[in-house]
Structure 1
Amino acid sequence: MAAAVAAALALGSAGCGGGGAATGSNGLEKVVFGLAPVAPAGAFQVGIDQGFFKAEGIELELKVVQGGAAVLPGVMSGNPMFATSNAITLLTARDQGIPVKIVSNASADRVPPAKGLYGVVARQGSAIRTTADLKGKTVAINTLRGLGEFTVGEAVKKAGGAPGDVHYVELPFPDMAAALKKGNVDAVWVPEPFLTSLTTDGTGQLAGYTTQESVPGLASYVFTSERTDADVVARMTRALKKTLDYAEGHTDKVQAAATVLSGIPLATLQKSGMESFGTDLHTDTLSAVGNLMQQRGWIKDGAGAVKGLLP
C-alpha cells in the first residue's frame, strides 16, 4: 500500500487529475470507472444496462483494476476518474494529504450478518476454528495495513486478543491456496471466489467472516479526486443512487453481471454471500474505523480523515 499511496500523494501535490470528461460523438461524456473484479461490481454494469448513467449524459466505461490502494494513482491522474475502494485505503490516503473524496456508497456487509465475501480459512482439520484461535498464528493477507490486516486484527481483539497477536505475511490471493496446503501459513484471508473454493474442495475450513466480526456494516465506497468537475460528480451521484437502489432489489442481475466482470462462475456466486447496496454512506461505521485506525497508529487524525472524505 505504501508505494501506491506515495505515488498518489505525488500526483495530488502536482495538481494532476480532476477536471471534466470528454464528450463522444454520441453526445455523452465518457467516464472511466475503476473497480475490482469482485461480486458487488456487477451492480455498476446493471446500472449501465438500465440506462441510469446514459440518462445523466454519461457513457460509463468499466475498467477492472487492482483493488485497495493500487487504484489511487490512477484516480489522482484522472484515469479512471472514479473507482471503488475500501474505507481503510481511503482513510489512509486522506490522512496523508491525498485529496480524495467519497461520492457514494458502493456496497457494505449486511446487518445482521449473512454469508460474507471475505473470510479467514485454516487448513482442513486444523485446531483453528474461530478467529479467537488465530492468536500467535501466521495469516496470509494480500496487502499489509489493508482491509485484511485491519479486520483480522479487530476480530481477534473482539475475541479477547490484540491485533498484534497475529503475524501477517503478504501474498497474492491466487498463491494462498498453495501456501496453506504446504503449511507455510496457518490461515489465509481471502475473498470470493477463493473463499468458496478453499472451503469446499477439502483444502480448508472457515474460521470466520472477519469483516463482519470486526466492524459490522463495514462499507466500500465510490470515490474520486476532489478536483473532479462538480457537475460530473453531481450527475454520477444521481446515477449511482438509482443504480444502487435498483441493485439492492435485483441481486440476481448483479450476480449475472459479475460473472462477466470477474470471471467468477455463477454457481460460485450463488453459493456465496452478496453485500448490501443502497445509498447510505455508513458514516458511523466510517468514523468507527477511523478511530480504530488512529488507536492502532495507522493514521494520525481519524476524525479529520473522515471529515475530509465525506461529500
Structure 2
Amino acid sequence: MHRCTLGLALVTMTVAGITACGSPDSGSAAASSAEDGKATQVTVGVIPIVDVAPLYLGQKKGFFSSRGIDLKMVSAQGGAAIIPGVVSGQFQFGFSNTTSLMLAQTRGVPVKSVVNGAASNGKVGADVTAVLVEKDSPVKSARDLAGRTVAVNTLQNIGDTTVRESVRTDGGDPAEVKFVEIPFDQMPAALDGGRVDAAWMGEPAQTIAKGQGARVVASPFAETDPKLTVATYFTSTKIAQRNPALVKQFEEAMTESLEYASSHPDEARQILTTYTKIGSDVLTKLTLPNWPAQVDIASLEKLAELGEQDGIFSGKKPDIGALFS
C-alpha cells in the first residue's frame, strides 16, 4: 500500500509555485468537450487503496459515463503529489484524507472538498485502521502505548492525531508516545522484526500483520468518532468557481458510486483486484471502511480541534465550513 496522506513537503510549497505548474486555462479546460456534446475527460488523482473502491466501481457501472464524464484514474504515492497535481490542473479531482486537506488550506493552498470519500466503520477492534502489536507484547490497550514507539505512515497527520486521542481517552498520556514514520506496506515486517512496539496500519497491512499473529489494541478512527470522515474527493477552488457544472456532475456520480458500494460490499471488494495487487487470500479478510454519501461535519470539527491541539496547523485554524461544505 502506498502512503495515503500529505507529507511535510507541502509545507514548503507556495501557492504561486504550485499554480505555476499548470496552464492558465487548466481550470476550465475540461468544460470544452461538455459544451460541444462530447464526453468530458476527467482525470482523478488517487492512491490505490481500499478506500477508493467506489470510484472504480462507479466507473464500471457507468455512473460517470451516464453523466458525460470520461473518467481516468492516475495513481500517486500520496497527497503530497495529488494536492499540487489538482491545483496545477494535472488532475481535475483528487482523493485525500481530511487532515491533509485541512493542512493544505491552512497553508493557503486553494482546494475545495466536493464529495465524501471514506469514513470509519465505527467498529472498535474491527475498523479500517488499527494499532497492532505482537501477540506476546505487554501492551494490552491504548493507554499502554505511552512510552512506546508507534509507527505511522506520515508524521503530524491523521494517524498520530487519532492515535493520541485513543491513548488519551483510555487514560494514558499521549505526550509520552513516540511516533516514527514507516510506509504502510513495511509496517508488518517492522512490527514482526521488533523495530517498533506498535504500528497504526491501514489495509491490507493490518490483515497481513494479523496473519503473522499481531493483535489489535486500539481503533483510533472509531475511538476518535465512530462516524469520522476520513477522506474526501476534492478539486481546486479555480475549477469549483469556473466549472460548477462539472463539479456537480462528478459529485452526483460519486454519490451514486458510494451508495452502490455501500449496498454491494462484495462487488466493492472484488473491484480491488482491478487496481491493486492484493491477493485472494487477503482480499476476503480485508476490513472495509464505510462509504456514506455525506461528510460528517461534527467529526471533522473534532479532528480539526485535535490537530490544533497537536500543533500541526501552525496556529491557523482550518475553516471547516469553507473547505467541506
Q: Above 0.5 in TM-score?
A: yes
In structure 2, list runs of 5 or more residues that go unmatched.
1-6
Aligned-residue CA RMSD in angstroms?
A: 2.2
266-275 or 212-221: bigger deviation: 266-275
Does residue 73 of structure 2 align to residue 62 of structure 1? yes
Aligned residues of 1:109 and 1:211 also touching (Cα < 8 A): yes
Does residue 9 of structure 2 align to residue 3 of structure 1? yes
Aligned residues of 2:10 and 2:104 also touching (Cα < 8 A): no
CA distance in 2, matches of 1:50, 1:41: 15
Q: How does 1:126-205 map to 2 (within 5 A)?
A: 126-202=137-213, 204-205=214-215
Q: How does 1:289-308 map to 2 (within 5 A)?
A: 289-299=303-313, 300-302=315-317, 304-308=318-322
Q: How does 1:1-311 map to 2 (within 5 A)?
A: 1-7=7-13, 9-12=15-18, 14=20, 16=22, 18-21=27-30, 23=33, 27-111=38-122, 115-202=126-213, 204-219=214-229, 220-228=231-239, 229-299=243-313, 300-302=315-317, 304-311=318-325
CA deviation digits over 1:256-279, x for unaligned, max 9?
111221222244233222111131
**Structure 1 vs Structure 2: percent identity of aligned residues?**
31
Note closer, same or farther for the CA distance 1:205–1:10 as it changes in structure 2 (3 Å cut). farther
In structure 1, list runs of 5 or more residues that go unmatched.
none
TM-score (norm 1): 0.91
Note closer, same or farther for the CA distance 1:121–1:70 as it changes in structure 2 (3 Å cut). farther
CA distance in 2, matches of 1:193, 1:282: 25
3-state DSSP class of the match of 2:275?
helix
TM-score (norm 2): 0.88
One-letter amino acid matched to 2:13 = A
Note closer, same or farther for the CA distance 1:174–1:272 as it changes in structure 2 (3 Å cut). closer
CA distance in 1, matches of 2:272, 2:89: 25
3-state DSSP class of the match of 2:161?
helix
Aligned residues of 1:120 and 1:206 also touching (Cα < 8 A): yes
One-letter amino acid matched to 2:227 = G
CA deviation digits over 1:50-84, x for unaligned, max 9?
11111111111112222344421111112222111
60-69 or 247-256: bigger deviation: 60-69
Note closer, same or farther for the CA distance 1:8–1:116 as it changes in structure 2 (3 Å cut). farther
The CA deviation at 1:114 is: 7.1
| Count of aligned residue pairs for this structure pair | 309
Note closer, same or farther for the CA distance 1:76–1:5 as it changes in structure 2 (3 Å cut). farther
Moved over 6 A (4+): none
One-letter amino acid matched to 2:148 = K
CA distance in 2, matches of 1:35, 1:210: 23
